[in-house]
Chains A and B, each alone.
Chain A
C-alpha cells in the first residue's frame, strides 16, 4: 500500500477505536460531570469522523449542535439535578422518600419552589 493510504487507514482505525473507547468511558464513568465532559469530547471526535466521511455539512451541524448544545443542556440539567438532590436531602428528615409499596401520592416538597 502507498504511504498515504496506510496513514489514512491508521487514522481511520485510531479514530474508530477512539470513538468506541470515549463512548464506553462516558457511559461507564461513575462521576456524572466527567461523563458529560467525555460525551462532549466524543462529539468533537465525531466531527472529525464526519469530515473523514466526506460529509462537511454534517460535521458543521454536529460541531454546533451535537457537541455544543447537547453539552450545555446536559450540564445545566446536571446542575439542576444536584440542586434538587441537596434540597431533597435537607427535607428528608421531615419527609420519607417515596415508598412504592404504599398507595401514597408523591408529596411535593414546598421548599423546592415549584411554581405552577
Chain B
C-alpha cells in the first residue's frame, strides 16, 4: 500500500468528501446536553460547567482517565524505561530560568486548581502545569534523591486513582450510586478530589518524561 500511492489518493479523497458531506449535513443548531447540564449545575457544587461535567456528571470517565495515566506509566516502566536522560550540566540560561520559573509554575498550578470551580481551569490544567514544572526541573539537571524516588513518588503517583476510587466507593456506600455527591458537600469533595488529582497528574507526567523506573530501596543503583 505504501508503494501504490495512486490507489491511496482516490481512497483518501473519497474519505474526505464523505466526511465533509456528513459533517455539513448535520443540523445547524443542536443543543446536545447543554440544557440538561445548565439546569443541574447548581446542584453540582461548582459553577464552571466543564468542571461540573468532568468531576461530577461524568466523574466516572475522569476516574478511568487517572487510571489510564497510571497504566501508561506502568507500561513505560515495565519496558525498562529509556536510558536515564544523560546528565549534562545546564547552561546558565537554563539554570536561571528553571530557578525563576518553577516557583511561578507551582503558584500558577495552585491558582488554576482553585479557580477551576468558577472560571476556566481545573485539575487537569493545573496538573499539566505541575508536570511542566517537573519537566523543566529534569531538563535543568535535577534528579531527586534516591530515597525520595523509592516509595514516596510511587505513593504520589498512585494517590490520584486510589483516592478517586476510595471516594467513589465511599459515596457508593453512603448514597447508593458511584460518585454521587451529596449536594451540600459536593463543592468540598470536588476540591479534595481535584487537589489529589493535580499532584498525582503532575508527578505522573514528569515521570513519563523521565522514563526510567525509580530504584527500589533494595537495588543500589
Touch between A and B in complex, CB under 8 Å? yes
Is A29 among interface residues, defined by CB-CB distance under 8 A? no
Is B47 among interface residues, defined by CB-CB distance under 8 A? no
- Which residues of chain B are within 8 angstroms of A72 by Cβ–Cβ distance? 132, 135, 139, 209
Is A60 among interface residues, defined by CB-CB distance under 8 A? yes
Return the CB mask of A50-62 against B: 1 if under 8 Å, else 0: 0000001101110
> Does B120 contact A56, Cβ atoms closer than 8 Å?
yes
Return the CB mask of B85-129 against A: 1 if under 8 Å, else 0: 110000000000000000000000000100000001110110011
Q: Total interface residues on B, using CB and 8 Å?
A: 24
Given the complex of chains A and B, what is the CA–CA distance between A103 and B180 in angstroms? 57
Q: A57-B50, A72-B135 are in contact. Are A80 and B129 (CB under 8 A)?
A: no
Given the complex of chains A and B, what is the CA–CA distance between A68 and B128 in angstroms? 9
**Which residue numbers of B lie inside 8 Å of A, CB to CB?**
48, 50-51, 80, 82-83, 85-86, 112, 120-122, 124-125, 128-129, 131-132, 135, 139, 205, 208-209, 211
The 10 closest A-B pairs by CB, nearest first: A64-B128, A56-B120, A60-B125, A57-B50, A65-B128, A57-B120, A68-B132, A72-B135, A61-B125, A64-B129
